[in-house]
Amino acid sequence: MISFDEACLRLANLAEPLPPEMVSLEEADGRVLAQDIMAACDSPAHAVSAMDGYAIRDSELKAGRTSWPVGREVYAGDGPPGELPAGVCARIFTGAPLPAGFDRVVPQELVRATAEGVSLDPHLLSSSHIRQAGSDFRAHQVLLRRGRTMDPGALLLAAAADRPHVLVSCRPRISIISSGDELVAPGTALDRPGRVPDSVSFGVASLARQWGAGVVRRRRAQDDLVTLRRAVSEEQANADLIVMTGGASVGERDYARAAFEQLELIVDKVAMKPGKPVWVGRSKNRLVVGLPGNPTAAMVTARLFLAPLLAALGGRSPSEAWAWRDAPAGRPFAPTGDREVFVRARMNGDSVHPCDNQDSSAQAVMGEWTLLARRAPASPGLASGAMVGVLPL
């Protein structure tokens, strides 16, 4: 067996980002930039008002003038006004371009407006209330760097840069094959003795989408080598990564690995609990992840091995999926045996509480499980208040 750390080292550089594609901003949410984004123009393009008020010339104010007739009105969205005669002001609104030669905006609450124009007390004035051209960013300035995830702030900035399309990494296509004669679609197991709902594929599919997968296909296949090979062959034509759940032990009908031709194993037999049967490899230039059939073990290993591969395929660092942090234990943790243990746990306030049921086949625990707590092999019991490494599910 190999350690979990050794498995992570083998996976760290296994997946390369998929080729990039140009997409609209509507399609870019959550994607990873494959090239820098530069501003197409200055922002703002012209000096604009930061307030609703009246634009005046500072030189006239310094010359002692305190009242002006209104020469025109300027609204946000108007083109830059031309020259206005000396001795007049402009009624102006937030975001509107300043007339040429005007260099101060007086907020409307600081003026006295009459039918003849406006007047003010110079002692009440402070800021000029103008956003100068290019004060936010300049044309050709790099605003977002390659590798940035297109989160809400990045999408806003790309749109502000007047870039309707961006080059991003492709979302990996995932196929999940659930092997097992006992598996049936949810809603059909009640009246079929010996059959159980296929639950694992729904959880794994959701996790895959959370970590950047695009198209996620799910299918069930019987424990038959010919059937499994046919399913694998069909999915290899459409998927960047195939997940096989179940059939990973040593039973007479465990054909998961045999279903893949030219299988090169990268990770196998990890000294961990739950999930020792997990394996990762490559077949016909496609990544393959084999997960245990037990629901909890499948979700633990999917979080630890599938998530980093998906992150890497989508242009992110796999280390993002292994962002462990320390938190205090809110309840004692049991001692461990000869394998590293990943304890299903939950946060209660600021402390970590192990879930009561740690069985690898448990499913009810999914209702409270929110993170994994990592415990080294041969560790004694952990007392309340001691620090433990945790990873969000």
| Alpha carbon distance 241, 282 (integer Å) | 9
Examine the domain organization and report whether 298 and 192 are in the same domain: yes
186: left (phi over 0), alpha (psi -120 to 50) or beta: beta
Examine the domain organization and report whether 199 and 64 are in the same domain: no
User: Model confidence over 228-241: pLDDT tens digits?
Assistant: 999 999 999 999 99
Residue matched to tokens 């609209």:
24
Would residue 139 count as lying in a domain?
Answer: no
Half-sphere exposure of 343 (CA within 13 A, CB side): 27
Whether 81 and 62 have beta carbons less than 8 Å apart is answered as no
User: Strands 104-107 and 53-56: what pairing?
Assistant: antiparallel
**Residue 80 belongs to domain with CATH number:** 2.170.190.11
Selection from 330, 326, 318, 307 nearest residue 375 by Cα: 326
Examine the domain organization and report whether 91 and 203 are in the same domain: no
Looking at the 3D structure of the chain, how many domains does it have?
Answer: 4
Neighbours of 250 (CB within 10 A): 6
Whether 352 and 328 have beta carbons less than 8 Å apart is answered as yes
Q: Residue 303 corresponds to which amino acid?
A: R
Tell me what pLDDT residue 252 has.
45
**Residue 378 belongs to domain with CATH number:** 2.40.340.10
Tell me what pLDDT residue 248 has.
52
Tell me what pLDDT residue 253 has.
53
Report residue 344 as tokens.
């299903």
Neighbours of 262 (CB within 10 A): 9
Examine the domain organization and report whether 223 and 279 are in the same domain: yes
Examine the domain organization and report whether 152 and 268 are in the same domain: no
Examine the domain organization and report whether 153 and 26 are in the same domain: yes
Examine the domain organization and report whether 85 and 118 are in the same domain: yes
Examine the domain organization and report whether 340 and 367 are in the same domain: yes
Whether 372 and 342 have beta carbons less than 8 Å apart is answered as yes
| Alpha carbon distance 242, 319 (integer Å) | 21
**Residue 187 belongs to domain with CATH number:** 3.40.980.10
| Alpha carbon distance 365, 170 (integer Å) | 34
Would residue 281 count as lying in a domain?
Answer: yes
User: Model confidence over 83-142: pLDDT tens digits?
Assistant: 899 999 999 999 999 999 999 999 999 999 999 999 999 999 999 999 999 999 999 999
Would residue 137 count as lying in a domain?
Answer: no
Examine the domain organization and report whether 208 and 314 are in the same domain: yes
